[in-house]
Structure 1
Amino acid sequence: MRVGVHKIKMGNPGDVSDLKRQIEDGTINPHDIVALIGKTEGNGGANDFTRGFATQSLSLLLGTYLDLAPDAVAKRIAFVWSGGTEGVLSPHATVFTRSEAEPAAGKRLAMGIALTRDLLPEEVGTMVEVRAVAEAVRHALMEAEIDDPRDVHYVQVKGPLLTPASIADATSRGAKVVTSDPNGSKPYARGATALGVAVALGEVDEAALSDEAIAKRMDLYSSVANTSAGGELRNCEVLLFGNSPKAGGDLRIGHAVLKDVVDSHAVHAAIRNAAGEDGDGDLSVDRVKAIFAKAEAPVGGMLRGSRTTMLSDADIHYERHARAALGAVITSVTGDAKIFVSGGTEHQCMPGEAPIAVIVQV
C-alpha cells in the first residue's frame, strides 16, 4: 500500500477547478482516490449546507472520470467535511489516494476506511453509536494492516447529528432522542464517535461507559480521535491513519496533544513525532504535507492566567473563536493556511486539550 496526499484549493464549496487541474496534469489519478477530508466556509452548525454542496460538486466532477453517477461516487469515496474557516483558515480539501507498492525500509503512512450502518435518530449520541464506531475502527485497523494500536495517530470520524426532520421522525415513532436541539446534539454525536475510537484502540474500557457518560465523563477520552457531526450523513465514516511496516511510499504520520489553543510547541512536537526514526530533530516545515487538529476553548475561559471571552460571547460561538485562534497559531509555524481545524473536543483528549496530527514526507 502506498498512500498519496494531495491538497486542493477551493474558491467556494462548488469550486472543483484545482482538483480537475491536478487530475488533468497527472498529479492525481482519479481511480486511486479513496477519501477526502476538507474545510468549507459554512458555519459548522446543523444548517451548514456547504458540506453537502461540496460533496455534490466533487462527485459530479469525479463521476465523469470514473464513469459513475454522483451517488455512486459518494459511496466509493469517503467525503469528510468540516464547516467553518474562521480567521486565516483556507477552504480546501486533502485528497487521499491509495495504490499498490512494495513495503518501505521503515514504517510508512497507511490508512483504512470503514463505514457503520445508517443510525436511527434515537441511536445518535448513545452507546449504540459508540459500539458501531468501535467495530468500524477495528475493520479500518485491519484494512490499514496496522498490528499495534500505538501506531495509530489519527482517526477521523464524521457522523450524523440530529436534524429537525430526524427528531420529528423519532417523535412520530415514540422514540426518545438525546436532545431536541439540533445544534445541541453535536456534543453527544461527536462524543459517542470519539469514545468508539477509544474503545477500539484500548484507550477506554467499554465497561466504564454508559449513555449517561457520553458528553459528561470527560475523563474518558481518545488522544487520536478527531470527530465531527453533520446533518448530511446518516451513518458514520471512519478514516484511520497510522504507520505500518507493510506500507510503501515516503510519508509518515505522527501526533501530539495541544495543551491549549495557542500551543505552538505541540505543532513542532507532532512534526517530530511524524518524522520518527527518519527525522533529524529539525525537520523542515516544508516537508509537512497535511495537518489535522481539533480546537477547544480554555477551561473556564482562562488562557494561561488571562481571561478570554470565548465561552461568554453571545454573538460568536466558542468553537468559531477556537478554530480561528488555533488556525493562526498553526499557520504561523508552517506558513500554510490550508489546514484542517475542527471545533468541539468532547472525549478527544482531556478538557481544554486537543489532538493534532501531522503527515510529513521523510
Structure 2
Amino acid sequence: MRQARVHRIATAGPDDVSGLDEAIAAGRIDPAGIVAILGKTEGNGCVNDFTRAFAVSALSAALAARLPPAAVARIAMVMSGGTEGALSPHILVLERGEAEADVAKGPALAIGVAHTADLAPEHLGRMGQVWLVAEGVAKAMHDAGIDDPADVHFVQIKCPLLTAERIAAAGARGADTATRDTLKSMGLSRGASALGVALALGEIEAHALNDAVIGSDFGLYSGRASTSAGVELQNHEIVVLGMSQSWSGPLAIDHAVMADGIDIEPVRAALKRLGLEARGQLASEERSRLVALLAKAEAGSSGRLRGSRHAMLDDSDIASTRHARAFTGGALAGLTGLTELFVSGGAEHQGPDGGGPVALVVDRRKGES
C-alpha cells in the first residue's frame, strides 16, 4: 500500500533550494520518492516570467546531485508565477512511497503524474490540445490507482504557450496558430487544458466541445482543473490529486468551487468535511493541519462582482490575472490565516466565470501535525 506525503517549504527566491536540501539531509524527504514539485514564484506570471524556468533549473540541479537524470526528468515541476499582495513564495513537494506500518488505512490522498508529448503550436488552444490533455489525465489517474473520476479532487497542469519563434515555426510548415498574440495564447492554452480535464473526468461531454468554444464559452468548465501556462516547456505536466482506498496515511483532500473571488463559504464547507471546525479564521491548531491550499483566481468577464464594478480588466499597466491572484489570495488568507497559498491566476474554463476551484490537503491527526 502506498502513502502520500506533502511538504510545504518557504523559499527566499526562485532559485532557493535550501529548504529542500535541508529536508532531504534531515531525512524528512526521500528524493527518490518525489513525483512532483509545485511552486509559487514572485514573477509577473506573464509570457516573459522567467522565474518559473529559473526555479525549475535550480530544483533540477539540486536533485541531479541525488538522482539519475531520468529520475529527475520524471518529476513534474509546475511553477506558477505571481505572488501579488501578501502571497508568500513557496514550494509543495509531493512524495509517495511505501506506507508506514502504523498509519491509518485508506481512503487517503493519492498522487498520480503524467507527461504528454510535445504539443505542436498549431494545436494550442484547439481540440488537439483538449484531447492530448484528456489522454494525459487518464494516464495520471492510472498512475495514482484511481479508477473513478469522482475520486479525483484536483488536477494541476503546467501547459505551454506560444512564442514568436513557435508561431514562425508553425507558419514555416504551412500551419496557422489559434492566435498570434503570445499573451492571449496563455489563456487559450489554460482553457483548452482545463477542458481536457473536464472531458477526462466526465464533467463535459465530447459533443459539447469544438475549437470555437475554447476561450469563449465560459459556461463550459471543470470544477477540478487548475492550469498554468509557461514558456519553459512544450508538453504538459499533469498532476492528479484524489482519494483512494488503496492508499493510506493521515492526509486527505477535498475541493470546493468558488463562484467569485470572495466566495469563501464553499471552501469553509470543504474544510469542515475534512474535519476542521473552521468557524471563523482557522485557529492555530487547525491551521497547522492545513498542509496545502491550491486555488484558481480570475477577474470576471462582466467587469462586475456582486453588482459592483471592478477595474481589474481596465488596467493597462497590470494584467488582470495579477489583480485576481492578490484579491482571491487575500480572501483565502483571511479564512485560513496562511499566506503560503498556491493561488494561480487565469481561470479560463476552470470554475465559473470570475470564480475557480480550490483544493485543500489536510492532516487528519489532531494535535500531531
Shorter-normalised TM range: over 0.9
Report how far residue 141 of structure 1 moved.
Answer: 1.2
2:22 maps to amino acid: R
Residue 74 of structure 1 deviates from its aligned partner by 4.3
Match of 1:176 in 2: 176
* TM-score, with length taken from structure 2: 0.93
Aligned to 1:246: 246
Alignment of 1:40-189 (within 5 A): 40-66=41-67, 68-69=68-69, 72=70, 74-101=72-99, 104-189=104-189
Secondary structure of the corresponding residue to residue 203 of structure 2:
coil
Q: Is the 8 A contact 1:301 1:311 kept in 2?
A: yes
Q: In the alignment, what sits opposite 1:5? A: 6
Q: Is the 8 A contact 2:259 2:351 kept in 1?
A: no
Q: Is the 8 A contact 1:104 1:245 kept in 2?
A: no
Amino acid at match of 1:150: A
The alpha carbon displacement at 1:281 in A equals 7.4
What TM-score, normalized to structure 1? 0.94
1:329 to 325, 328, 331: 331
Shift in Å at residue 304 of structure 1? 2.1
Instruction: Report the residue type matching 2:87 in the other structure.
Output: L
SS in 2 for 1:252: strand
Aligned-partner residue type, residue 110 of structure 2: A
What displacement does 1:299 show? 4.1
Task: Give the Cα–Cα distance (whole angstroms) in 2 for the partners of residues 262 and 205 of structure 1.
Answer: 30
Counterpart code for 1:174: G
- Tell me the distance in 1 between the aligned counterparts of 2:209 and 2:74: 33
* Matched letter for residue 29 of structure 2: I
CA contact (8 A) 2:4 2:96 kept: yes
Query: What displacement does 1:104 show?
Result: 4.1
Instruction: Return the offset for 1:190.
Output: 0.6
Classify 1:106/1:279 alpha carbon distance in 2 versus 1 (closer, same or farther; 3 Å): farther
Q: Percent identity?
A: 49
The answer as to 2:225 corresponding to 1:197 is no
Secondary structure of the equivalent of 1:331? helix
Q: Could you tell me how far apart the structure 2 residues matched to 1:75 and 1:107 are?
A: 29
Structure 2 unaligned blocks of 5 or more = 365-369
User: Which letter does structure 2 place at the counterpart of 1:192?
Assistant: A
> In structure 2, how many angstroms separate the alpha carbons of the residues matched to 1:281 and 1:322?
24
**2:304 counterpart residue number:** 302
| 8 Å contact from structure 1 (residues 55, 74) kept in 2 | no
Mapped to 1, the partners of 2:305 and 2:210 lie a distance apart of: 32
Task: Give the whole-Å Cα distance in 1 for the aligned partners of 2:85 and 2:358.
Answer: 19
1:313 is aligned to: 315
Alpha-carbon distance in 1 for matches of 2:16, 2:191? 32
Distance 1:346 1:14 in 2: 29
1:149 Cα deviation after fit: 1.1
Query: What is the CA-CA distance between 1:335 and the residue it aligns to?
Result: 2.0
Query: Aligned residue for 1:29?
Result: 30
How many pairs does the alignment contain? 356
The CA deviation string for residues 268-295 of structure 1, in whole angstroms up to 9 with x for no partner, is 123224x1xx666768233110000000
Cα RMSD of the aligned pairs, angstroms, is 1.6
